[in-house]
Structures are given as C-alpha cells and as structure tokens.
Amino acid sequence: MKTLVTLGPEGSFSQVCATMHYKSTHDIRYEKDLLSVFNSLSEGTDILVPLENSTDGFVYQTLDGLIKHPGFIFKTHTLPIAFGCVGHITQAKNLYAQFVTQQQCQEFLFQHKSLNVITTPSNSDSMKHIDQDSVAIVPMHLVDDKLPHIDHIEDFSHNQTRFACISLQPTYTTYKNASLLITPHVDRPGLLYDILGQFQYHSINLSAILSRPNKKIDKKYHFYIEIDMTTSTLEALDAVIELMASKFDVKFLGHY
C-alpha cells in the first residue's frame, strides 16, 4: 500500500480530505508544513495539498511547490470549509485561532474586537486553550457539542477548499481538467498575449491563470494555467504544448 502525506496535525481539513478519499488505498502520514509535504513525494508516496480556497484564492506555497518539485496532479477534491467558536463567549477575554482561520472569520472577529486574539499554529492547538476565560475558533468538525459554541461563523457560506493529490507518475484516467506551468526565457511586450493567443487559436478554454515570481531570475515569472478539458481535446492541448515548448520552458502538471 502506498503512503499519502498531507498537512497535519490530525484534525486539519487536510486530514479530513485525506481520510475521506484515501483511507482505504493509502497509509496516511502528516507533516507540519507544505515544504515537508512536497519533500515527501517519491515513487511510493503521494501527497495531498490545498490548492485553492474559494474566498482566499490559490495557495501560493502549493504553486511554488509545483514549480520546484516534480510530480503530476492526478485528482482534485473539494471540501466545504466551516468554522465555529467554542467556549463561553460572553465571559471570554481571549480568543485563540490559527492564522488562516482568522482570515476567513473576519466579520466575527470584528464583532468581538474586545477579545485578545492569539494566533495558534493549528486549529487543533486552538482547541487546547479553551477555558473559562478563553474561546477558540475551530473547524466545525472539531466543535465539541458538550461545550457552548456558535456554529458557522465563516465570512462566506460557500467557503470551500480544493485539494490536489500529486504523484510522481502521471495518470490518464477520466479527467475534466489539466494544468501547465509556462516559464518564459525573457520578458517582452506582448508576451502574455502570445501565450494566451495560442489557447484561443486552438479553442481551449482556460479556467485559471496566475503568475508567480521566478525566484532564480529577477523580474521574471512563471505562469500557472488551468485548462477546462470538458470543452477541449487532447490533440489541441498537445499542439499547444508542442508549440509552447519551442519558445518557453513548459511543465505539464497532469490531467485530473
């Protein structure tokens, strides 16, 4: 059985996604940061990483990992994200919450701005600080029903995170999307137009495009591109990749 490495500790959204989809096919192991997760990728080990949140956008550490490391996305999973506040809010002086959790519960924090907000390394750690003077914001799956709590305090009810499962080997099973990483050699006027124009010429619909700084060369960028394969053909995509590869560095990141 292969190993699946994802972000821990247990109780994280990554852990929920991993156990929901891979408990029967992989031994699941946890690392404390995304760099360690990407470094775990090997022939016998797949990784599961957060790729995009519907309110915060793409996870830049994940994109940087895709740039730096080999590997192919072979499956994505979308998980609803919801938070609750656990503890006696009316008598609390302190509020514990992980940094990303705080970002997605800004309205609740504003409504309780008299509380001293303390940042924790994880949602599981936040739970440990609940007492008579302290409350914690945690994912709804960690809410203890035996304690006072306020449900669904996230800013947006449609909040969800898309996770990507990555392997060293590509797969060609049923897919709806594909991703590419394009790295131009030089910067020049019309560069992005030339890249996007090829997709338009071959009637390929893009679902996302964003840039990341090239950390080896000043003022140069990598372009991460997602393709909607439900309206495109493999032949058209192959044609674009072949043309792009003659002009730029192109890294195919997989069908999924």
Q: Are 234 and 143 in a shared domain?
A: no
Q: Are 35 and 100 in a shared domain?
A: no
Label residue 191 exposed, middle or buried (CB < 10 Å: 0-12, 13-18, 19+): middle
The number of domains in the chain is 3
225 and 206 in contact (C-beta within 8 Å)?
yes
Q: Are 63 and 94 in a shared domain?
A: no
Tokens of 76: 């994505």
Q: Per residue in 49-82, pLDDT tens?
A: 999 999 899 999 999 999 999 999 999 999 999 9
Q: Are 180 and 256 in a shared domain?
A: yes
- pTM of the prediction? 0.91
Q: Are 167 and 77 in a shared domain?
A: yes
Q: Are 223 and 255 in a shared domain?
A: yes
Extract long-range pairs of 26-30: CB within 8 Å, 24+ residues apart.
26/1, 26/2, 27/1, 27/2, 27/3, 28/3, 28/4, 29/3, 29/4, 29/5, 30/5, 30/6
Q: Are 199 and 250 in a shared domain?
A: yes
158 and 112 in contact (C-beta within 8 Å)?
no
Q: How many Cβ atoms sit within 10 Å of the Cβ of residue 199?
A: 20
Range of the domain at 61: 1-81+159-171
CA 68 remoteness from chain centre = 16
Q: Per residue in 158-175, pLDDT tens?
A: 999 999 999 998 877 778
Place of tokens 């059985």: 1
* CATH number of the domain bearing residue 107: 3.40.190.10
Within the chain, residue ranges assigned H as helices are 13-22, 34-39, 60-68, 99-103, 106-111, 123-127, 191-201, 234-245
Q: How many Cβ atoms sit within 10 Å of the Cβ of residue 13?
A: 21
Q: How many Cβ atoms sit within 10 Å of the Cβ of residue 151?
A: 12
Which of 113, 142, 171 lies at the terminal end of a domain, its last residue? 171
Q: Per residue in 229-247, pLDDT tens?
A: 988 888 999 999 998 888 8
Q: Are 28 and 53 in a shared domain?
A: yes
Instruction: Give the total residue count for the chain.
Output: 256
Q: Are 184 and 240 in a shared domain?
A: yes
Rounded to an integer, the average pLDDT of 13-30 is 96
Which of 141, 171, 201 lies at the terminal end of a domain, its last residue? 171
Q: Are 49 and 165 in a shared domain?
A: yes
Q: Are 30 and 45 in a shared domain?
A: yes
What is the SS3 assignment for 240-253?
HHHHHHCCCEEEEE
**β-bridge mates for residue 144, sequence order:** none
Q: Per residue in 9-19, pLDDT tens?
A: 888 999 999 99
* CATH number of the domain bearing residue 204: 3.30.70.260
Looking at every residue in the chain, the average pLDDT score rounds to 93
Rounded to an integer, the average pLDDT of 121-147 is 94
